[in-house]
Amino acid sequence: MIHPSANGMRDSGPTMIGCPACAGTLRAEVGPRRHIEFICSVGHAFSLADLYQAKEEELEQSEWSVMALLRHLEMILGMALDRGSESETRDVQAIHRRLEQVNRQITIIEQMIQHTQVVTQQTPATAGDAFPGTAHE
Ligand SMILES: [Zn+2]
């Protein structure tokens, strides 16, 4: 459903995409020449290309956060193993299993980070090809 709004943009309605700058969600507005803009309830506004870039950055931050948590778990589990004499044998086995799992998960996240190929904007002439509707006015 598309509704005209005061600024000449047509409101395409809410999306399920979170605003990269706050806790709000974005609504899409389509302007002249199919230019699309995403705006949250407090006024943060993004072009399609800007929103894409912001979400890629958000994803990378999340991947590094997961990596940090896994490294923390690795250290904590290592400390728990150092104190193994105080633990029951089955706890030590469970700690070893979880530590192996954490190490595999670290490898998976490393591969995810290394193999991500972000779409980059090149020259202004070709940027519109990657993100139709975001051509500069
Ligand atoms: Zn916002």
- 29-71 pLDDT, tens digit each: 998 888 899 999 999 999 999 999 999 999 999 999 999 999 9
Give the distance (Å) from ligand 1 centre to CA of residue 83: 47
CA of 125 to the centre of ligand 1 (A): 29
The DSSP string of the chain is --EE-TTS-EEEEEEEEEPSSSS-EEEEEE-GGG-EEEEETT--EEEHHHHHHHHHHHHHHHHHHHHHHHHHHHHHHHHHHHTGGGS-HHHHHHHHHHHHHHHHHHHHHHHHHHT-------SHHHHHHHSTT----
Task: Give the model's pLDDT for residue 39.
Answer: 96
Ligand 1 (ion): which residues have CB within 5 A? 19, 21-22, 24, 40, 44
- Residue 9 Cα, ligand 1 centroid: separation in angstroms? 18
What is the pTM (predicted TM-score) of this model? 0.75
